[in-house]
A and B are shown apart, each in its own frame.
Chain A
């Protein structure tokens, strides 16, 4: 049996096999294109926007804060006072920046919002409202306008859904979307977002935390034991 003939046979076999495989490949590639796609994805305004029936609901504060009085009246009712109750009869100290100088009310209030005065935002002429830098009045319900005045970058991000999170629907034709107000997350007097404690950690098998984690507080570090 000539060796060369066998080698030739093997090469021929491989050649035919590769041709058959290549043919299969082509049909395989064609089969891989999606056959059950309902429609080719296109840039379409119609499916998303023109049917927009649902609003983006932004939470609002209900109004200026009121201070609850201690005790009850003889009829058992509690009472609260508005800002203007005191501030309409007092002289405004336009330079005050901290609660430490105040000896009546607002005791112990922390303030950490830059080097601005109280009346940079609060309105001395209208105690139950706020004011912008040009003096125009802003109701407490519209506090976001005041925040946006200086924090326009965050305001722009907020308008495009990139700041503050949301609940509900991305597709407003199918349902509403609820967004937070600035002060839902940021206390206006100490706006820095508070630190949190990690509450939930996956427990991957054989994946114990390294020794340095033992110095941390928190339930997760203890779960590993």
Chain B
């Protein structure tokens, strides 16, 4: 009709961007379809389990008035750490101008997005009255800010999600359009995300360590420990993601980002272990009544020792994983690296989750020992949450790869 090309506006091109993203999100090999089907099935099982929990009351979990937080909050704590871990890519890339890291930092941000979504879901499934979620909205409900640390957590987690969504979305959209990203639109948010990532995990730690009635948590070292373990589990997860990307899409990241991450993991894990030793020494050497939760966790108390196998497995995995990280083989693209990552991820999940949240409640504040092990329903719900998180991660990584390899590119003339 007209020979003058239509001026490209965001109104026309952005929906196309989303549309194409969705289309390509459902394109892939048979392995991809199988993976997504499995994840969807797991997610549906989890969703059904949660619906049953809402219908039947939380008696369907194994939580009690003595151990009133369990697997959901344990998983929440770990996922916040995963989300914060992305900052260990942002700092080298943007503060230290690591060019190679620059190429893969968006992977860390995609992991952060998926992790934050999982965090929010973990909290929602833990609510006794999820239908009253609107009570949290400032203005409409009653938001007990700044007194309640949970309100801080709501702010920082949602803020971090928005920051990462914006940065990733903007960079991908610009790449899709073939335009150079305008620094003012994303760099301030990237720098903000550095401070913000530290804050999300510090606030989560403050949730626990501010409670005087829970001496196991009421330690100044809790927030630093959270950060240290986050800077191990986050980067380890990202290394695994990059390996999966190489195996499935053929995209090979440069060798140095992973090496940088492993150096970071080495330091952070050492600090984490040191802090663990410090906590154990302080409690055991003093020998006060406050040693009861730690005694229960590591050795059992009054004949009850449900968590002992958990924590020693975690300690073992963490130690072996750390040792593996310190080998030269870990700096190469080897199986050693992958094994080490898997070991510390699982080890930290246990140590931070079941090994931190549950012992905070055992013994109870009246020193009763009521044990907790998650019910099948709780495992299903958490599996479902992980399923959804991995779906989101897979789709965002797919989008990233598609855009960065040029497979997804606008066909309109760029201005």
Contacts and interface: CB of A to CB of B under 8 A. Distances in A.
Contacts of B56: none
Main secondary structure of the interface of A (DSSP, over half): helix
A205 interface: yes
Contacts, number: 53
Contacts of A9: 187-188, 191
B195 A10 contact: yes
Interface string A99-112: 00000000000000
B412 to A, nearest CB: 26
A28 to B, nearest CB: 6
A211 to B, nearest CB: 8
Given A3-B95, A204-B64, A14 B192 contact: yes
Contacts of A24: 145-146
Interface residues of A, number: 19
Nearest to B369: A207
Interface residues of B, number: 25
Given A1-B183, A3-B97, A28-B145, A206 B64 contact: yes
B66 interface: yes
A185 interface: no
A9 B190 CA distance: 11
Contacts of A216: none
A96 B17 CA distance: 108
A7 interface: yes
B375 to A, nearest CB: 11
Contacts of A211: 303
Nearest to B192: A10
B65 interface: yes
B176 to A, nearest CB: 21
Given A3-B94, A13-B192, A204 B187 contact: no
A83 B330 CA distance: 100
A25 interface: yes
A208 B147 CA distance: 37
A136 interface: no
A202 B232 CA distance: 44
Query: Chain B: interface secondary structure?
Result: loop
Contacts of A32: 147
A28 B146 contact: yes
Given A25-B146, A204-B65, A205-B64, A6 B195 contact: no
Given A25-B146, A205-B64, A6 B368 contact: no
Task: Name which of A3, A21, A211 has the most chain B CB atoms within 10 A of its CB.
Answer: A3
Given A3-B95, A207-B368, A207-B370, A10 B191 contact: yes
Given A6-B188, A10-B192, A14-B192, A204 B94 contact: no
Nearest to A21: B146
A210 interface: yes
Nearest to B97: A3
A210 B183 contact: no
Interface string B122-156: 00000000000000000000000111000000000
Given A13-B188, A204-B66, A6 B183 contact: yes
B109 interface: no
A209 to B, nearest CB: 10
Contact of B371 (A10, A13, A21, A206): A206
A206 B370 contact: yes
Contacts of B370: 204-207
Task: Identify which of B95, B146, B190 gathers the most chain A CB atoms within 10 Å of its CB.
Answer: B146
B302 interface: yes
**List of 5 A-B pairs having minimum Cβ-Cβ separation, nearest first:** A1-B183, A10-B191, A6-B187, A9-B188, A207-B370
17 contacts: A6-B187, A6-B191, A9-B187, A9-B191, A13-B188, A14-B192, A21-B146, A24-B146, A25-B146, A204-B368, A205-B64, A205-B370, A206-B66, A207-B64, A207-B66, A207-B368, A211-B303
Interface of A: 1, 3, 6-7, 9-10, 13-14, 21, 24-25, 28, 32, 204-207, 210-211
Interface of B: 62, 64-66, 94-95, 97, 145-147, 183-184, 187-188, 190-192, 194-195, 302-303, 368, 370-372
